[in-house]
């Protein structure tokens, strides 16, 4: 029997504004309701897509309990009003959950099993802190399979500072300031807002409201304001709340389709999925994960980092981004890297972040027809990295 291999395209992506965990925007909002809002907005924005043509709904969550459990891809699809014939499932690859939802369901499209899918992620870290309910096997520590610091992400970032002594706290703080500045400019220029969906929120104290913009950004952040912050993971350490992403709530979603199906339905094809790669590293320095994942991908494709015109890398910690840049010989302020800022300013609701990277890359591709290739990449808890290579469908030649 013939085997199928089809081109896969990113059609559209939306997300809720990201909130601060605890008493932030979504303190009294359910995680599954955030996913429902995203799915409904995707359908509203793409009226040419008949709901019955959706073949799968893949939604990631790191902590799959409570309102993030019960096979959230399926339950959110039903709650969003999709036909009962549309199946769904849940994914967990910690921070790379939504990224994995895209690569897994996208591979299904390439294989011919699906025509159109919805892929995304959600994390309500206010309701479900990272690690809630987990029971790590005692063998991890008793048999010294991992260093004890591997189980605390902030400690792994301090370990990465040890591995890269050239990455000082001052250098990490400087990167964080630039991230805040780029997000502030992107908001001022109206570049972030098109991908946000308004969310009705409620509070017993304040009544109903509307979430319309990201809550975490701190415009006006300076080196001086970061210098005095505490280093909670190590005395006299380097990692602070100012040069790391916070604890956040939010949901993302994207429509992927076979390229010919997108043409048939009159859907946009913003960028083309070329390849993806995952790699494992020592869990105690999980932040270095994007390096081998990207190396594997570039080697398989026979291209170099010089041919990558845009780089969307998740800013879990500034040191993790800087380690990636240092490895590939990229300047800390290279214009290709997170042009509109990243998670240090916008927030990082764990399993949802991968699709945020993708929707920002797709928007940048539309403005840069001179750029052919871009990547979305991120580190992953327990020692992994994931990288996806995308081709700009608006490419007109050039560098």
Question: For the chain, which domains are there?
Answer: 146-192+274-390 (3.40.47.10)
**Do 99 and 93 contact (CB within 8 A), yes or no?**
yes
pLDDT score at 399: 47
- Please write the tens of the pLDDT for every residue from 201-241: 988 888 899 999 999 999 999 999 999 999 999 999 999 99
Burial class (CB in 10 A: 0-12, 13-18, 19+), 48: exposed
CB under 8 Å to 178, separation ≥6 — which residues?
333, 341
Please give the Cα distance from 61 to 375 (Å, whole number): 22
Q: Are 338 and 312 in contact (CB under 8 A)?
A: yes
What's the confidence (pLDDT) of residue 203? 85
Residues 6+ apart with CB under 8 A from 36: 76, 79, 80
Residues marked active site are found at: 95, 348, 379
Q: How many CB atoms lie within 10 A of CB 26?
A: 29
Question: How far apart, in whole angstroms, are the C-alpha atoms of residue 91 and residue 46?
Answer: 25
Q: Where are the beta strands (DSSP E) in the chain?
A: 8-15, 19-20, 56-60, 88-91, 116-124, 199-203, 207-211, 248-258, 271-280, 308-313, 373-380, 384-392
Other CB atoms within a 10 A radius of the CB of residue 288 amount to: 24
CA 153 – CA 155 distance, rounded (Å):
5
Q: DSSP secondary-structure letter at 104?
A: H
Under 8 Å between Cβ of 59 and 88: yes
Short-list 195, 214, 263, 187, CA closest to 42: 195
pLDDT in tens, the chain (399 residues): 666 789 999 999 999 999 999 999 999 999 999 999 999 999 999 999 999 999 999 999 999 999 999 999 999 999 999 999 999 999 999 999 999 999 999 999 999 999 999 999 999 999 999 889 999 999 998 999 999 988 899 999 999 999 999 999 999 999 999 999 999 999 999 999 999 999 999 888 888 999 999 999 999 999 999 999 999 999 999 999 999 999 999 999 999 999 999 999 999 999 999 999 999 999 999 999 999 999 999 999 999 999 999 999 999 999 999 999 999 999 999 999 999 999 999 999 999 999 999 999 999 999 999 999 999 999 999 999 999 999 999 999 854
What pTM was estimated for this model as a whole? Answer: 0.96
pLDDT (0 to 100) of residue 2: 67
């Amino acid at each position: 029997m013939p085997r199928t291999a089809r081109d896969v395209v990113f059609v559209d992506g939306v997300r809720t504004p990201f909130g601060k965990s605890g008493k932030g925007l979504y303190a009294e909002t359910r995680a599954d309701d955030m996913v429902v809002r995203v799915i409904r907005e995707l359908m509203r924005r793409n009226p040419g897509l008949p709901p019955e043509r959706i073949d799968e709904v893949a939604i990631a969550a790191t902590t799959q309990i409570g309102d993030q459990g019960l096979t959230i891809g399926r339950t959110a699809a039903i709650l969003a009003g999709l036909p009962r014939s549309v199946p769904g499932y849940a994914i967990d690859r910690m921070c790379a959950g939504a990224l994995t939802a895209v690569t897994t369901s996208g591979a299904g499209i390439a294989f011919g099993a699906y025509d159109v899918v919805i892929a995304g992620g959600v994390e309500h870290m206010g309701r479900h802190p990272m690690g809630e309910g987990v029971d790590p096997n005692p063998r991890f520590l008793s048999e010294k399979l991992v260093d004890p610091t591997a189980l605390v992400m902030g400690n792994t970032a301090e370990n990465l500072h040890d591995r890269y002594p050239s990455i000082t706290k001052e250098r990490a703080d400087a990167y964080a300031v630039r991230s805040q500045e780029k997000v502030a400019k992107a908001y001022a220029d109206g570049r972030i807002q098109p991908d946000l969906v308004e969310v009705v929120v409620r509070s017993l104290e304040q009544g109903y409201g509307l979430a319309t913009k990201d809550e975490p950004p701190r415009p006006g952040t300076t080196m001086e304001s970061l210098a005095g912050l505490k280093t909670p993971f190590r005395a006299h350490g380097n990692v602070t709340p100012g040069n790391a992403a916070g604890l956040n709530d939010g949901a993302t979603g994207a429509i992927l389709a076979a390229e010919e199906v997108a043409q048939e339905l009159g859907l946009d094809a913003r960028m083309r999925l070329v390849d993806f790669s995952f790699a494992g590293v020592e869990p105690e320095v999980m932040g270095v994960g994007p390096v081998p994942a990207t190396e594997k991908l570039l080697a398989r494709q026979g291209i170099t980092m010089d041919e990558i015109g845009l780089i969307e890398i998740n800013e879990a910690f500034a040191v993790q981004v800087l380690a990636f840049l240092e490895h590939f010989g990229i300047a800390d302020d290279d214009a290709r890297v997170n042009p509109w800022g990243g998670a240090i300013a916008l927030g990082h609701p764990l399993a949802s972040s991968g699709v945020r990277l993708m929707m920002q890359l797709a928007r940048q591709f539309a403005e840069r027809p001179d750029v052919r290739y871009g990547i979305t990449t991120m580190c992953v808890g327990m020692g992994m990295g994931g990288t996806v290579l995308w081709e700009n469908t608006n490419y007109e030649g050039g560098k």
